[in-house]
């Protein structure tokens, strides 16, 4: 949906007319339905049904000096921006989610101020090669989730203008605030100058918690040859504090095959480990994904196995997940 250009003309007391041009505003979203089932654990909770419930408003335009300004606001049921105040909806019923303003030009690059939902230059690429299969209702605790460099509300990211063909450079800054103990920085490099090959490297800091300082490094690569694409990713989280469970490594690989223009299948694997904690078992997740697209409709499904989901050996930590989803583009 596209809301046409909006103009506002006001007549001041001096009878001088002033025009405020707000550019164009567009709304995007998708219609989707999904069913998920998990076997294993302490109890079988049955199937969970859901639907897509997010829409994003984007707008912008070109200034007289040639720079471009863009704004984005997401409405998402149940989302929280982390800064509710009196008069706002509560976090379990709020609808105002990610929002940002971007100022850019070919000569100066792109500067983004994210009021909420921003990514650091490192966390922007830390999705595993397999697509974060671990995040599939297995009940993996926050302490054992893959860790990343710090992010916060009201953070800044910057993408440099093109300097070398196929090379993109970005940086980010997470400021100190009432909930962030110290500022953190991150940067990333992406190279796509060879046909079929994409290589990313990123490094960042996690200084957001008092008494905790960590460095995070991510390397990620994919290579496509004909209908086959292979990918690998590795993230290392190195905490300078003592403690066997402070450091973390996440490794992943994925291989996908495009059967036809409409059908694709892939197999992926992920391992989350604490290399300095000899008592913990590695979390191991692997799964198959398949999708079929026709006429704007995509049917997709996954079958995923996860072992040691609490980094222990109990049989209840081994779980199986399947899901089936339908999404519609119009």
Q: Is residue 242 part of a domain?
A: yes
Reported as a pLDDT band with limits 50, 70 and 90, residue 25 is confident
Q: What is the pLDDT of residues 63-95, one digit of tens each?
A: 999 999 999 999 887 665 554 444 444 444 467
Instruction: Flag the least confident range among 44-48, 63-67, 153-157, 193-197.
Output: 44-48
Q: Is residue 84 part of a domain?
A: no
Q: Is residue 6 part of a domain?
A: yes
Q: Is residue 63 part of a domain?
A: no
pLDDT at 23: 63
Say whether pTM exceeds 0.95: no
pLDDT at 122: 98
Q: Is residue 300 part of a domain?
A: yes
3-class SS of residue 293: strand
Measured between alpha carbons, how far is 111 from 103 in angstroms, rounded to an integer? 5
Q: Is residue 69 part of a domain?
A: no
- CB under 8 Å to 68, separation ≥6 — which residues? 60, 61, 62, 103, 104, 105
Please name the residue that has the structure tokens 């992920």: 270
Measured between alpha carbons, how far is 70 from 25 in angstroms, rounded to an integer? 10
- Return the half-sphere exposure (C-beta side, CA atoms, 13 A cut-off) of residue 6: 8
Whether residue 185 contacts residue 159, with contact meaning beta carbons closer than 8 Å, is answered with no
What does the radius of gyration of the chain's CA atoms come to, in whole angstroms? 23
Question: Stretch 228-257: mean pLDDT, rounded?
Answer: 91
Measured between alpha carbons, how far is 146 from 136 in angstroms, rounded to an integer? 13
Q: Is residue 128 part of a domain?
A: yes
Number of domains in the chain: 1
Range of the domain at 191: 2-52+118-328
CATH for 135: 2.40.160.10
Whether residue 203 contacts residue 176, with contact meaning beta carbons closer than 8 Å, is answered with no
Q: What is the pLDDT of residues 29-39, one digit of tens each?
A: 889 999 999 98
- Return the half-sphere exposure (C-beta side, CA atoms, 13 A cut-off) of residue 112: 22
Give me the chain's average pLDDT, please: 86
Q: Is residue 87 part of a domain?
A: no
pLDDT at 243: 67
């Amino acid at each position: 949906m596209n809301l046409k250009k909006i103009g506002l003309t006001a007549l001041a007391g001096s009878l001088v007319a002033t025009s405020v041009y707000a550019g164009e505003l567009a709304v995007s979203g998708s219609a989707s339905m999904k069913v998920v089932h998990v076997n294993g654990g302490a109890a079988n909770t049955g199937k969970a049904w859901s639907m897509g419930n997010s829409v994003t408003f984007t707008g912008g335009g070109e200034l007289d000096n040639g720079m471009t300004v863009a704004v984005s606001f997401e409405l998402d049921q149940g989302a929280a921006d982390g800064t509710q105040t009196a008069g706002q909806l509560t976090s379990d019923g709020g609808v105002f989610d990610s929002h940002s303003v971007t100022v850019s030009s070919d000569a100066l690059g792109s500067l983004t101020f994210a009021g909420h939902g921003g990514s650091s230059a490192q966390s922007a690429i830390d999705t595993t090669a397999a697509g974060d299969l671990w995040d599939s209702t297995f009940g993996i605790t926050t302490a054992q989730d893959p860790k990343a460099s710090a992010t916060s509300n009201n953070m800044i990211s910057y993408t440099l203008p093109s300097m070398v063909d196929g090379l993109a450079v970005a940086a980010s800054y997470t400021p100190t605030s009432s909930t962030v103990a110290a500022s953190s920085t991150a940067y990333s490099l992406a190279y796509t100058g060879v046909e079929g090959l994409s290589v990313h490297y990123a490094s960042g800091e996690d200084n957001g918690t008092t008494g905790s300082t960590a460095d995070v490094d991510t390397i990620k690569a994919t290579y496509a040859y004909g209908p086959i694409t292979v990918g690998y990713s590795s993230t290392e989280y190195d905490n300078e504090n003592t403690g066997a469970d402070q450091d973390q490594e996440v490794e992943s690989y994925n291989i996908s095959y495009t059967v036809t223009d409409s059908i694709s299948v892939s197999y992926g694997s992920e391992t989350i480990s604490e290399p300095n904690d000899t008592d913990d078992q590695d979390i191991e997740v692997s799964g198959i994904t398949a999708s079929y697209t026709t006429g704007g409709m995509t049917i997709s499904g996954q079958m995923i196995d996860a072992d040691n989901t609490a980094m222990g050996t109990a049989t209840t930590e081994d779980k199986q997940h399947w899901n089936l989803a339908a999404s519609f583009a119009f």
